[in-house]
Amino acid sequence: MCISPRPAGDSPPPLGPGSWLPRAPLAERHWSPLLRACLNRATPTNCAALVTALHAAVVPRAARPDTVPRLVRDVLAHVSVSGLYGPQNAALCGALADLRTPDDDQSFLELLTERCEAAALGEELVESSVRRHCAAFLGELHTAEVTSTERMWRWVARLEPRDHASPDPANVDSLCALLATGGAKLETEAAADAVAAVAISAAAETTDGETEPTPLDALFSRLCRLATSPGLDTRLRCLLLDTVELRQRGWRRRAHFACPQPIDELRAAAEAEMTAPTGRRRRRRRRQPQAT
C-alpha cells in the first residue's frame, strides 16, 4: 500500500533515496497510510528498518483527537485477519508507544491494549477467529516487552476455566493462543525467578533440596488435568494437549510461518532445490492385472 500523495502546495514527504521509507517527520494525515504499509510489508529482515522509519515519521507529540483511535483501528484490522505475523506487529506498535492525544491521558499503546484485551477476553462481541488472533497478539506484546508480566498473568487468570466439567470453549481457545505466543517469555521469567529464589535460599542456608513449582508449572498441571477430564470436547482436548506439547518442545512450533517471503528469496530457494543432487529413485513395478 502506497502513501497517499500530499495535496498541491505541500512539499512531498522526504523519502530515502530509492526507498519508500520516510526519514523525517510526516504530516499527521500520512501516519495511518504509513502504518498500514509497514504492517503489510513487515518481515523479520526489514522490521528494524520499519521501526526506525516510524520513529522518524511519527514524532511523539500530542496528536489530533481522531489520530490515535484511527491508528488503533488500523492495527486491530490487520491483526484480526492475519494472526501469523504478530512479532513484527508488536515491534511496530512499540514504536508508537508514546503517542498521545491532546485531550486524553491515554496513549496509543494503552488504547491498543485495552481494545485488544476487550476482544480477547470476550468483553466485546467479535468472531471466534478475531478473538483468537487478538489473544495471540497480546502474547506477542508481552514477548516484545511492551506489556508487563502482571498484566499477562491477569489475562491468563481471566481465561483459565474454573469449571472443568463445562469449560467455555472460547476462553480455552484464547488461552491456548495467548500461551502459544507469550508462553516462552513467561517461561524465561519463571526460570529467572526460580534461580533467584534458590540463590536467596542458599544465602540464608534454608535449602531443603526441593524446589517449589513455579506458577507456570502449576498452570500447566491444571491444564493437563483439564485435558484428561472425561466429557471434554475433542477439539478443546487437542488444543490443550498441543499447548502442553509446545511447552515440552521448548516453545518451538512444528511448522513456523513467520511471514511471507520476498520473491528474491523464493527464487533463490527454488534454484537451490533444482540444482541440489537428488537421490536415486526407486523403480515402481506396475501391478499386473490378475487373470480372472
pLDDT tens column, 226-251? 998 888 889 999 999 999 999 998 88
Residue 200 has a pLDDT of 46
Indicate whether 204 pLDDT > 60.
no
> How does residue 12 score in pLDDT terms, banded at 50, 70 and 90?
very low
In a domain, 114, yes or no: yes
CATH of the domain at 35: 1.25.40.180
Largest Cα–Cα separation, the chain: 89
Evaluate whether 39 touches 6 at the Cβ level (below 8 Å). Answer: no
Residue 26 domain boundaries: 16-147
Q: Is the pLDDT of residue 15 over 60?
A: no
Residue 143 within any structural domain of the chain: yes
In a domain, 69, yes or no: yes
Instruction: Report DSSP state, residue 211.
Output: P
* Selection from 100-114, 118-132, 189-203 with the highest mean pLDDT: 118-132
- Residue 128 counted as domain residue: yes
Residue 96 in domain: yes
Higher pLDDT, 55 or 134: 134
Task: Report yes or no on 227 lying in a domain.
Answer: no
pLDDT digits over 28-50, tens only?
A: 888 888 888 888 888 778 888 88
pLDDT of 199 over the 70 cut: no
Check residue 174 and give its pLDDT. 92
**Would you say residue 61 lies in a domain?**
yes
Which is higher by pLDDT, 24 or 29? 29
| Residue 204 belongs to some domain of the structure | no
Contact between 26 and 57 (Cβ < 8 Å):
yes
Total domains, the chain: 1
pLDDT given at position 192 = 67
SS3 state at 287: coil
Report pTM. 0.71
